[in-house]
Amino acid sequence: MSSAVFYGITSEFWQVACKVTEKMYDLGERTLFLCDDDSDVIFCHSKLWTFSKLAFIPSGSKSTVLVDDAKFCSVWFSTKVEFCNAPTCLLHNGLDVSRLDGIDKFDKVVDIFDIGLIEAARTRAGFYAESSFENSKMWLQEDGSWRSGSLV
């Protein structure tokens, strides 16, 4: 069963994204970290490398690892949906993914969005539901803690 998990955030995207990425790695998930553009790929990858002194998460992008070696990366950073590291999870920052091919090949989508853009998240939740994502959950960040919410 495919699922979509939404995080409505008030903090910086990369902080939450790095924590979620580490959790996905701990669970054995291989992740495609979808970015807006090439500078985002470089920025987010650098943040993952430096956010925790205790965690090492094998990761890469086309600018840091040969595509043939992507299979050794638990996290692959890219601006497009690609399956270089055989990902089971797609993580992104509230991008409009409705025009992207291959979304239905993921077991899980993690959608991290600015809490002020909840209506766009609701639209994406509808798209995921139409794309065979049977289970949707949402968490909202408030005053440094999290509470569950609903997109319907």
**Between helices 13-26 and 38-50, what is the axis angle to 10°?**
60
The whole model's pTM is what? 0.91
Q: Is 45 helix (H, G, I), strand (E, B) or coil?
A: helix
Q: Output b/e per residue, 82-96; b: 16+ Cβ within 10 A.
A: eebbebbbbbbbbbe
Question: Rounded to 5 degrees, what are φ and ψ at 107?
Answer: -80, -25
Mean pLDDT of successive 10-residue stretches along the chain, which has 152 residues: 90 90 93 95 89 81 92 94 94 90 91 93 90 86 85 70
Give dist(CA 141, CA 148) in Å, integer.
9
Question: How much is the pLDDT for 152?
Answer: 65
| Residue-level pLDDT at 71 | 93
Domains of the chain, with CATH numbers?
A: 2-149 (3.40.50.10110)
Q: What is the pLDDT of residue 143?
A: 81
46 backbone φψ class: left, alpha, beta (φ>0; ψ -120 to 50)? alpha
Element (H, E) at 75: strand 75-78
Q: Which helix (H) or strand (E) holds 6?
A: strand 2-9
pLDDT of residue 124: 92
